[in-house]
Structure 1
Amino acid sequence: MSSYPPAAPPQKTTLRQRLADLRGPAVPPRPLDARSLAALAANPGCGRRALLDGAGVDKGALAAALGSPAAFGQSQFAIVRGNSFEAKVKGDGGAELLRLAHTLLGGAAEPPGPDARVPDLTAAGPEGRAARTALALREATAAGAWTLLDHPMLALEVAGTPAYLEPDAVVVDPGGRWTVVEIKSFPMIDGAADSAKVGAAARQAAVYVLALERTAGKVPGAEVGHRVLLVCPKDFSNLPTAAPVDVRRERAVTLRQMERLTRVEELAAELPAGLSFDPARPAGELTEAVSAVGAAYAPECLAACELAFHCRERSRAAGDPATLGRSVRGELGGLTTVDAALAAAGSPDPAEGASEEGDDPTAAALRRAARLRAEALELAAARPPHPAPEGPACPC
């Protein structure tokens, strides 16, 4: 009989431990925010971003360690200007912000008075702040009074990972409607702002709307407005003005894309043991680790993901036609590489009179495009050069 004690059963690694191992032993998790969620939902097929965001990996530090840094974020001047404008909008107990909300979205509600509520949302940690926000929303709805929640904390589960989101403000009107407020520092000139910036703000606000809806479902009489209040500087001044923005389309798209996201535990389970995205590791190890997770690069990633330059380089090296855009990739059908598309374009036409039933229509279209291009170049080369203009020389 053996005198050795029985071997202890193997400890099962929890998802939290696994994600901590992926980040690195001394790397704190980077929380998800609405901006990253909007970008993640815009490219749900990218398992690389889903895993890295779900694990809380700092993609900016990872990109720098890989040798492909991306410059993201606002300048210090823009941050200071934005903070100053937000403080002005919320000054005096949010009186001006509530007035704008009543004017543009208040409907038949009584205008806000000096007794409007601004509850204290202070609590320990994001979980505590989210619970305190949910309680304040419930109390505001039950009170039936104008209420301003300054930087509330909302919880939303994304691909099996909890995310804590912090909108600029949420306004509760006497009818129990909750409205997301987005405060931006770009100007609204003659009542209109830059359409690209408004679109980005709408996609970000749609994430907040989805998070609010999770809470509103547990509060009797609560309703989440699908029109958010966008507050910007008026013309070239620092005075606030606002406009309602309907985010129903952005909300539907974001919800559909989030439902398609692969759960983080499924992605983590497919990775080899010992793999880590710790930026302190050598660049060669990090390159292998990143390559172990599938990506779905598209040119739109350059404006939304810190790893875009690294992924673009790898996509180009692999000859992926998605590097030229999703529309190009879709048009090429079964031709999955740029080299295959070029080979199809340069292949000879079927013999005259031969059956073309088995010919790939994409290859036929590429051959025709290449033929038309060659003919256009021949015509341009055969065209005589333009004669020099007659007349006196320029006096200068």
Structure 2
Amino acid sequence: MSESPDSAPPPKAPTTALRQRLAELRGPSAQPHPLDARALAALAANPGCRRRALLDGAGVDKSALAEALGSPSGFGQSQFAFMRGNAFEARVKADGGKELMRLLGLDDPGRVRVPDLTAPGPQGRAARTALALREAVEAGGFTLLDHPMLVLEVAGSPAYLEPDAVVVHPDGRWTVVEIKSFPMVDASADAAKVGAAARQAAVYVLALEHVAGRTAGASVAHSVLLVCPKDFSNLPTASVVDVRKQLSVTRRQLARLARVEDIAAALPEGVTFDVAACSAAELTAAVEQVPHAYAPECLAACELAFHCRERARLAGAVEALGRSVRGELGGLTTIGEVLAAARGEAGDPDDPAVAALRRAGALRAEALSAAGSVPAARTAGPREDAVCR
């Protein structure tokens, strides 16, 4: 008999003082914005961004904050796409998950158990899910968990996650199921969308591993089942996606995140992101108190990306040009420093980045000089209209 998930040590909850501080940051009247797997995957992709770590940890609604700052973001899913996704998911799970189990290779869905996961609050649902997973392993056979609730500690705070489904196999193996509404044409889907789905599923796998570690006979598959519409129909088809690489990256990056209480403790007293009580100028000043790590990739993953991009450009930060460029420039942190180094006005000549910039500057000057000599040579010769005559 495995240890009961109720008695197993859960992720540490924030202290009372930290909960109060986070409530002050988002505003006393604001409900905490839930942190989902998509946000966690984006956070793991940019672990150096303390601004996002704090805002997500405090449950601040970043869309409302971006709107109040005057930099609204188009990031998010349209209402039409949301409704289409819900309709497709309902079709996949209809009749007790008959179609979904067929995609897993099981022709007799009558043998599949679908436990009730209803419980009060996210903590209760997470405990009920852990108990259902343990009971499924002990009972054997196939079990389908529809929208289970998982919990994962992130930067010292618990994040509650809700995958589309988890299937328990007779051998005790757990498989995450991701249901997406983008099409799979000729057994192939858009690589960028599949990559995003894999990063999101890796967060679910990581959360499941914590439960499996306290459940005898359980293991978590490192391949997830991605279910999408076939071609341009509404018929579901599936593909097995290996997420071992995404899992390794996510685990490492989440471990690098600064703890929320450490970031909050560094803020001056009275700083708040309360959209209802603060003006745009006050919110801008509050946001600027928290360091950010903007990169162009943020535009597809963060609601505050436009605001951070504007600030990065105003500061002349090289991060605005991309992480790869930032990595190649070493200690040169602003575009002004880069241009000065390229002109030979600043920088250590022994620095490889400075040497490369000066070489590039010399090549550019040589190319411009060569290009500038062409018109002069042409004006010295016969005019084209004279030749035509």
Calculate the TM-score normalised by the size of structure 2: 0.90
Can you list the C-alpha shifts for 1:333-372, whole angstroms capped at 9, x where unaligned?
A: 121211011011112699xxxxxx9643322221211111
Structure 1 residue 380: deviation in Å?
2.6
SS where residue 164 of structure 1 aligns? strand
Give structure 1 regions of 4+ aligned residues with deviation exceeding 4 angstroms.
Answer: none
SS where residue 110 of structure 2 aligns? coil
What is residue 391 of structure 1 aligned with on the other side? none
Aligned equivalent of 2:343, options 341, 346, 355: 346
Give the whole-Å Cα distance in 1 for the aligned partners of 2:338 and 2:320. 13
Q: Quick check: 2:97–2:109 contact (8 Å CA) kept in 1?
A: no
What is residue 72 of structure 1 aligned with on the other side? 75
Structure 1 residue 89: deviation in Å?
0.5
Aligned equivalent of 2:226, options 223, 230, 249: 230
What is residue 376 of structure 1 aligned with on the other side? 367
What is residue 86 of structure 1 aligned with on the other side? 89
Corresponding position: 1:140 with 2:136: yes
Q: Quick check: 1:112–1:146 contact (8 Å CA) kept in 2?
A: no
Give the whole-Å Cα distance in 2 for the aligned partners of 1:334 and 1:247. 35
Give unmatched runs, 5+ long, in structure 2: 1-14, 385-389
Aligned equivalent of 2:50, options 47, 51, 60: 47
Amino acid at match of 2:368: L
Aligned equivalent of 2:110, options 87, 105, 114: 114
Q: Map 1:1-396 to 2 at 5 A.
A: 14-102=17-105, 112-280=108-276, 281-347=278-344, 359-383=350-374
Give the whole-Å Cα distance in 1 for the aligned partners of 2:345 and 2:29. 59
Structure 1 residue 327: deviation in Å?
1.2
SS where residue 241 of structure 1 aligns? strand
Give the whole-Å Cα distance in 2 for the aligned partners of 1:348 and 1:289. 36
Q: Which moved more, 1:227-236 or 1:79-88?
A: 79-88
SS where residue 208 of structure 1 aligns? helix
Give the whole-Å Cα distance in 1 for the aligned partners of 2:346 and 2:246. 46
Q: Quick check: 2:101–2:109 contact (8 Å CA) kept in 1?
A: no
Aligned length: 363
Shift in alpha-carbon separation, 1:309–1:113, aligned structure 2, 3 A: closer
Amino acid at match of 1:370: G
Give the whole-Å Cα distance in 1 for the aligned partners of 2:59 and 2:338. 38
Give the whole-Å Cα distance in 2 for the aligned partners of 1:212 and 1:360. 47
Give the whole-Å Cα distance in 2 for the aligned partners of 1:150 and 1:341. 54
Give the whole-Å Cα distance in 1 for the aligned partners of 2:128 and 2:213. 17
SS where residue 111 of structure 2 aligns? coil
Give the whole-Å Cα distance in 1 for the aligned partners of 2:358 and 2:115. 68
Shift in alpha-carbon separation, 1:367–1:270, aligned structure 2, 3 A: same
Q: Quick check: 1:172–1:178 contact (8 Å CA) kept in 2?
A: yes
Give the whole-Å Cα distance in 2 for the aligned partners of 1:228 and 1:348. 54
Amino acid at match of 1:263: R
Give the whole-Å Cα distance in 1 for the aligned partners of 2:292 and 2:245. 26
Can you list the C-alpha shifts for 1:160-187, whole angstroms capped at 9, x where unaligned?
A: 0100000000011111110000000011
Q: Quick check: 2:137–2:218 contact (8 Å CA) kept in 1?
A: yes
Give the whole-Å Cα distance in 2 for the aligned partners of 1:363 and 1:43. 27
Give the whole-Å Cα distance in 1 for the aligned partners of 2:108 and 2:165. 16
Structure 1 residue 317: deviation in Å?
1.1
Give the whole-Å Cα distance in 1 for the aligned partners of 2:349 and 2:240. 55
Give the whole-Å Cα distance in 2 for the aligned partners of 1:348 and 1:293. 33
Shift in alpha-carbon separation, 1:349–1:94, aligned structure 2, 3 A: closer
Shift in alpha-carbon separation, 1:307–1:374, aligned structure 2, 3 A: same
What is residue 9 of structure 1 aligned with on the other side? none
Amino acid at match of 1:98: M
Can you list the C-alpha shifts for 1:199-253, whole angstroms capped at 9, x where unaligned?
A: 0000000000000011111111011000000000111111110010000000000
SS where residue 171 of structure 2 aligns? coil
Can you list the C-alpha shifts for 1:52-83, whole angstroms capped at 9, x where unaligned?
A: 00000011111111111101222222111111
Give the whole-Å Cα distance in 1 for the aligned partners of 2:134 and 2:311. 49
Give unmatched runs, 5+ long, in structure 1: 1-11, 104-110, 351-356, 389-396
> Alignment identity in percent?
71
Shift in alpha-carbon separation, 1:171–1:313, aligned structure 2, 3 A: same
Give the whole-Å Cα distance in 1 for the aligned partners of 2:368 and 2:346. 19
Shift in alpha-carbon separation, 1:94–1:371, aligned structure 2, 3 A: same
Q: Quick check: 1:102–1:112 contact (8 Å CA) kept in 2?
A: no
Amino acid at match of 2:284: T
What is residue 8 of structure 1 aligned with on the other side? none
Calculate the TM-score normalised by the size of structure 1: 0.88
Give the whole-Å Cα distance in 1 for the aligned partners of 2:108 and 2:365. 70
Structure 1 residue 13: deviation in Å?
6.8
Shift in alpha-carbon separation, 1:349–1:322, aligned structure 2, 3 A: closer
